[in-house]
Amino acid sequence: MAIMDIFSDVQQFLSEPKKLFIGGEWVEPSSGEYFPVENPATGQNFAQVSMAVEADVDRAVAAARNAQEGAWAKVQPAERSRLMIRLAELIEADAENLGQIISLENGKPYTNAYKGEVVITANIIRYFAGWPSKIEGSTIPVSPRGGEPMLNYTLREPVGVCALIVPWNFPLSMCAWKLGPVLATGCTAVLKPAEQTPLVALRLAELIQKAGIPAGVVNVLTGFGDRAGAPLSAHDDVDKIAFTGSTGVGRMIAKAAAGNMKKVSLELGGKSPNIILPDADIVRAAKGSADGIFYNQGQVCTAASRLYVHESVLDQTLEELRKHAAAHLVGPGLDPANTMGPLVSREQHGIVKGYVDRALNEGAELICGGKAPAHLEGGYFMEPTVFLDRQEQACIAREEIFGPVVTVMSWSDVDELVHRANNTPFGLAAGVWTNNLKQAHTIAAKLKAGSVWINCWNVVDPASPFGGYKQSGWGREMGKNVIDAYTETKSVFVDLS
Ligand code: NAI
Ligand code: MG
C-alpha cells in the first residue's frame, strides 16, 4: 500500500512555525528561536516549533496563576464538566488530524495513533469530566478536650498551578492523563511536551481554546528539558509537578521541586516481569506477551520486557513468539499496511541498537530480529527482537531498553521465580499467564508492581489507579487516587459554644 496523503487540515496546521500558547494567546518565543520536528520514518524535518526558555516559563506560570485566582476560580463544578465534555467531543471530531500528527512526529502506525491513542484520550477526558461535582470533603466527629461543641469539616481545594512534563511515546494521551485531573480539580497548568513530539500538544491547545476553557487555564510551552523543563520544575510559583519520563530526569525533577516543596508525582521507567506458568494457554500467552513488548515499538513504560517462561513450555513459547515477530510489517506509520513504525528518533534507535549489540557480546542468544529491516532507509526502524538469556546475566535482562526487544528466561521453581521477578529497581507492572486461580492470585499478591495483569497485558483504565513501586515512581495517576494528588485538604474547626 502507499503512504497516505497529508490531510489538508494538517497541512494547514504545519504550514507556519508554531507559536507558544500562553494566557489564551499564541505568542512568539522570547528567545526568537525555533527548532525542527523530525519525521522518524524518513529522517526529514517537516515543521518548526518555538523554543521556550526561562522567560517564557515565567510568562506561562504567571498566566496560569492569574487564571487560577481569577476566571477559573469562578467557574462552577458543573460548568467545568461541561467544558471538559465539549473538549472530549472536539478531540473526537478532530481524531483523524490528531492521529496523523501523532504518526508524523512519533512514527507509530496511523491506526494505532487514531483508533488507539486519540480515542483513549477522549475517553480519559470524559472520565475526568465526571469528577468536578464529586470532589467533596467530610464532617468529622472530633472530641475537644474542654468538651465544647465543635464542628469540624474538610474542604477540598485545587492544589494550584501544575507543571506537566510529558514524554514522546504517547504524546497526546500523556497530556490527557495529567490535564484530566487538572481540569477536574480546578487547577491550572503549564504543559511541556517532549521536544520530539511537540505538535499534537499544540493541536490539543487549539481544541482547548475552541472548547471555551478560560485563557491561562492551560498553557503550552514547546522546548527542551534543560532550557524549559528545568526552569519549570524549579519555579517558585508552581505548586505541583507531574512528570512522566526517564528515572534519571525524575530524580532531577524531585531535587528541583524541593526548593519550594512542590507536590511531586512521577511515572518513571520499568523492566516489567511477565510470567508464563506451565498450565497457561500458551498460544494466548505468547500472543499477549508479543503484543506486550512490540506494541508502540516497545516504547512503553510498562513494556513486557522480561519474559519468564516455565522450562516445560519454553520451546513452544519461543516458536509462537517467532511467529508473531515475523507477522509484523515494519515501515512508515502512514502506510496503513504497517503494524510497526520506526523508533521515535535517531537517539532512541542508537540506544536500542546499543543494547542489542551488548546482548550479543554478553552471550544472549538471538532468536529473531536484532537489526533494522534491510529494505528501509532513512528512518529509525528496528525489527521485533527476541533474545533468550539462559543465565539471566545480560544487561538486557536488567535495564530498560524502550524498544521492541524482549528477553526470555526460563524458570522451574515458583518461589525462586517470584524472587527473580522482583529483583529489579523498578516496580511498574508485572503479569502472570495461567489458568490456576490459586497461583494467579498468590503470585499477584507477591509481585512488587503497581499494575499486575493476569492473562492480559497493558490494560489501563481511567477509573483504575496506575503508578509504580520502587524507582518506577511516586504516587498514582487515574481513578480517585489522582484526585488526591491535585487537591489540598483543608480542615476547618468551628467552636459552637
Ligand atoms: P526524558 O526523561 O529525558 O524526557 C521526558 C520529558 O522530560 C521530556 O519532555 C523532556 O524534555 C523532559 N526533560 C528532560 N530533561 C529535563 C530536565 N532536566 N528537567 C525537566 N524536564 C526535563 O526521556 P528521553 O531522553 O526522551 O528518553 C530516554 C529514556 O527515558 C528512554 O530510552 C526510556 O528508557 C525512558 N523514557 C521513559 C518513559 C516512560 O513512559 N516512563 C517515556 C520516555 C522515555
Ligand atoms: Mg532525556
Task: Write out the three cell numbers for 141.
Answer: 466527629
Of the bound ligands, which one is closest to the alpha carbon of residue 163? 1
Residue 163 to residues 145, 153, 190, 300, 485, Cα–Cα distance (Å): 42, 30, 5, 22, 13
Query: Residue 376 — very low, low, confident or very high, per pLDDT cuts 50/70/90?
Result: confident
Residue 469 has pLDDT above 90, yes or no: yes
Average pLDDT of the residues of the chain? 97
- Alpha-carbon gap, residue 469 to 465, rounded angstroms: 12
Give the mean model confidence (pLDDT) for residues 234-240.
98
Average pLDDT over residues 71-77: 98
Mean pLDDT over 462-482 rounds to 98
Contact 187, 159 (CB under 8 A): yes
Enumerate the active-site residues.
267, 301
Cα(first)–Cα(last) distance of the chain, in Å?
80
**pLDDT score of 105:** 98
Answer yes or no: are the C-beta atoms of 299 and 292 closer than 8 Å: no
Q: Is it the case that residue 484 has pLDDT exceeding 90? A: yes
> Relative to the CA of 230, which ligand 1 atom is closest?
19
Q: Which of 191, 246, 424 to mutate to test the pocket of ligand 1 (most atoms within 8 A of CB)?
A: 246
Over residues 115-132, the mean pLDDT reads 97
pLDDT classification of 249: cutoffs 50, 70, 90: very high
CA distance 136 to 356: 51
pTM exceeding 0.95:
yes
Residue 200 has pLDDT above 70, yes or no: yes
Q: CA 163 to CA 448: how far, in whole Å?
A: 29
Helix (H) or strand (E) holding 330: none
Q: Which cell goes with 248? A: 534519571
Task: Give the closest residue (by CA) to ligand 1 atom 34.
Answer: 402
Lowest average pLDDT, out of 49-53, 300-304, 371-375, 473-477, goes to 371-375
Sequence-separated (6 or more) residues with CB below 8 Å from residue 244: 165, 166, 167, 174, 177, 178, 266, 267, 268, 301
Query: Where exactly are the structural domains of the chain?
Result: 14-268+479-492, 273-449
Q: What is the pLDDT of residue 374?
A: 79
Distance in Å, CA 434 to ligand 1 centroid:
35
- Ligand 1 mutation pick, 165, 168, 400, max ligand atoms within 8 A of CB: 165
CATH of domain 273-449: 3.40.309.10
> What tens digit of pLDDT does each residue of 257-295 get?
999 999 999 999 999 999 999 999 999 999 999 999 999
Which band of pLDDT confidence, cut at 50, 70 and 90, is reported for residue 196?
Answer: very high
pLDDT at 375: 79
Q: How far is the CA of 91 from the centre of ligand 2 (A)?
A: 29
Percent of the chain with pLDDT over 70: 100
Which is the closest atom of ligand 1 to the Cα of 268? Answer: 41
Predicted confidence (pLDDT) at residue 338 exceeds the cutoff of 90: yes
Choices 3.90.1150.10, 3.40.605.10, 1.10.420.10, 3.40.50.1100: CATH for 14-268+479-492: 3.40.605.10
Q: Whose CA is closest to atom 27 on ligand 1?
A: 246
- Given a cut of 70, is residue 1 above it in pLDDT? no
Check whether 111 has a pLDDT greater than 70. yes
Question: Which residue has the CA at smallest separation from atom 38 of ligand 1?
Answer: 245
Residues near ligand 1 with C-beta < 6 Å? 165-169, 192, 194-195, 224-226, 229-230, 233, 244-246, 249, 252-253, 267-269, 301, 348, 351, 400, 402
